[in-house]
Structure formats: structure tokens, C-alpha cells
Structure 1
Amino acid sequence: MIPSSLNPPQVFQKSTPRNVKEVPFVELADGRLQGVISSGSDIQRVYVAYFEARSLNFYCSTNNNRPCGGLRGSPCNHLINLLEEGIKQFGIPAILKYLQSAHDPTTITTIGDFLKLAGHITHQAHGAIFSRFLGSLQLLELPLSALPLPEMDWFAGGA
């Protein structure tokens, strides 16, 4: 029997095409639903946002650590966009399971239901989220090749 710590990560099927122009990066990682969201008003600006596991606390700021002006005690539009795209990518049950929510996923069928569960504004270092996004972008810059990519070794079940 394989120890649970060595099981490969679960792969989720997309049910709806994602809007990568608005939310170019969304993932379940580091105990969060996290991602990068494009600014609606400035093409040069992006926001980094997340919902934390268990508490569903949340935060949103620009990539240079300026707090989002829409964060006023509840999730801003960037967090709502992140959640919408996360639901398209993974589905509500998978998000709730990953975030270790004690709520019954059958009772949470809409974004509004999820937002009612949201915790409080928190502020933890989130530079790693933006860094992971930049790392993903670098992979897109690589020329096509039939050779294996060491950076993707984990994905193919490498050594």
C-alpha cells in the first residue's frame, strides 16, 4: 500500500472553459484557493488573492503589496472572480474538500452560498502566489521540444 503522502495529486476535469484573460492563474495550493486576477481598469496591474483553508479568511492586493480598495470587510470583486474561475476549474465540492471546510458541499451550490461562509480579511505574505504565477509563465516561454522538462517531472510521476 502506498503511503498517503506519496499519492499523486488529484487531477480535476474542467467542466466549463475558464476566462484566462480575467483570471490568468488559479490553483489549489499551500492550503489556499489562490490566484492572480487582472485589473479591470489598468492593463498593467494584477491582483493576488486567496481564500485560506479551514477559516476561509481572505485577502487581495496588487502584485506590489498595495491592499485592494474593494476589500471592505467582505470579499472584493477580484476574490469573487477568483472563486468563479476556481469553481470552473475544480468545482465547489473539490474546493471545499481542499480547503477542509466542515460545511456540507451539497448545501453550497452557488458563489453566494460560498461567500456567506467566508471568514475575515487577513494579511499573510502572498509573494509566493505571484512567484508561482511567474514560474508558470516562464514554462510558456520555452520552445517546443520532445525532451522532458525537469520542472515538470513531478507532473509525469518522475523519480
Structure 2
Amino acid sequence: MIPSSLNPPQIFRQTDKRNVQEVPFVELADGRLQGVVSSGSDIQRVYVAYFEARSLNFYCSTNNNRPCGGLRGSPCKHLTNLLGEGIKQFGIEGILKYLQSAHDPTQIKHLGDFLRIVGHNTNQAHGAIFSRFLGALQLLEIPLSPMPLPEMDWFAGGM
């Protein structure tokens, strides 16, 4: 069952501007499209959400590992928002390739097309995703300096 919030279907392009207020953190890592999604109702709450490689199984929970109340056999709005922002950042082809999906990216033109091919709810929280988000936030607080920063070696390609 596709959530009614997807009607009419939205087409996402990699060139669209990301909404970091809604989804402050999205990445392809650890065999998942994963990230942190802001709560629509509580400024103090965020959700950790992901889609797994190969199976496209999914999960969403609060940052303190309470399951999302919107998971009712299909992806919740947090997962939908994560996917939309992931498509804007990486493109549908990049996501499907990373997730090792056998599905043809040319057949997935709308968010709903992807949501029709997902697996099932895994009921498996991953606190490491939230930890990675917190680590990324810490990098934003490092004062400007002309000196190399070991924490940023990955960014410059180890130059």
C-alpha cells in the first residue's frame, strides 16, 4: 500500500535543491540509503530511517530507538522524505546501483515507483546512523583554520 501523500506522483530529479531542514542527513553507507529526518511535530525529535541493500527492506525509529508509529506495513512519511532527498542528492540510478537492486532505473520515474518495489519492515534500529549524523554535525563546529584537519582527510581525498 502506497501512502496517500504520494498522490499525485512527484518526480524527483538529482538537480533539485535538497531540503536540509526536513532531511538534514542522507547518505549511502553501510549497505543502506540511510539518514536522519526531522519530525514534523516536535522540534526536539528526529527519526533515523534506512532502506537496506538487495532486499530494500526498511525501518524508521526515533533517535532514541522507539519505532515510528507511521510504519504500518509500508514506508512511513519519514522514509518517503529520506528517499526523496536521497534521489535529489544521488539520483535514482546511483541509489539503485549502491543498493544492488536488479530493478531498471529507467522504470522508476516517481517516488511511488520506488516504494512499490521495497521489501518489508525489518524492526531493526541502527543507532550507528544517528552517531554518524552527530559526527557530521561536529565537523560543522570546527573553527576555520588554514592548517590541515585530520578529521577532514576523507573530504580532500587525502591530498
TM-score after normalising by structure 2 = 0.89
Looking at structure 2, the residues matched to 68 and 124 of structure 1 have their Cα atoms a distance apart, in angstroms, of 12
> How far off its partner does 1:93 sit?
0.5
Q: 1:144 maps to what in 2?
A: 144
Looking at structure 2, the residues matched to 39 and 124 of structure 1 have their Cα atoms a distance apart, in angstroms, of 20
**Paired residue total:** 146
Q: Which runs of 4+ in 1 moved over 3 A?
A: none
Looking at structure 1, the residues matched to 131 and 148 of structure 2 have their Cα atoms a distance apart, in angstroms, of 23
Q: 2:22 maps to what in 1?
A: 22
The answer to whether the 8 A contact 2:60-2:125 is kept is no
Looking at structure 2, the residues matched to 121 and 146 of structure 1 have their Cα atoms a distance apart, in angstroms, of 46
> How far off its partner does 1:152 sit?
1.5
Q: 2:106 maps to what in 1?
A: 106
Which is bigger in relative contact order (C-alpha 8 A, separation at least 6)? 2
Q: 2:90 maps to what in 1?
A: 90
The answer to whether the 8 A contact 2:26-2:86 is kept is yes
Q: Percent identity?
A: 83
In structure 1, stretches of 5+ residues that fail to align are 1-13
Looking at structure 1, the residues matched to 125 and 76 of structure 2 have their Cα atoms a distance apart, in angstroms, of 18
> How far off its partner does 1:155 sit?
2.3
Question: Aligned with 2:116: secondary structure?
Answer: helix
In structure 2, stretches of 5+ residues that fail to align are 1-13
> How far off its partner does 1:130 sit?
0.2
Q: 1:130 maps to what in 2?
A: 130
| Residues 74-115 of structure 1: per-residue CA shift (max 9 Å, x gap) | 000000000000011011010000000001111111110000
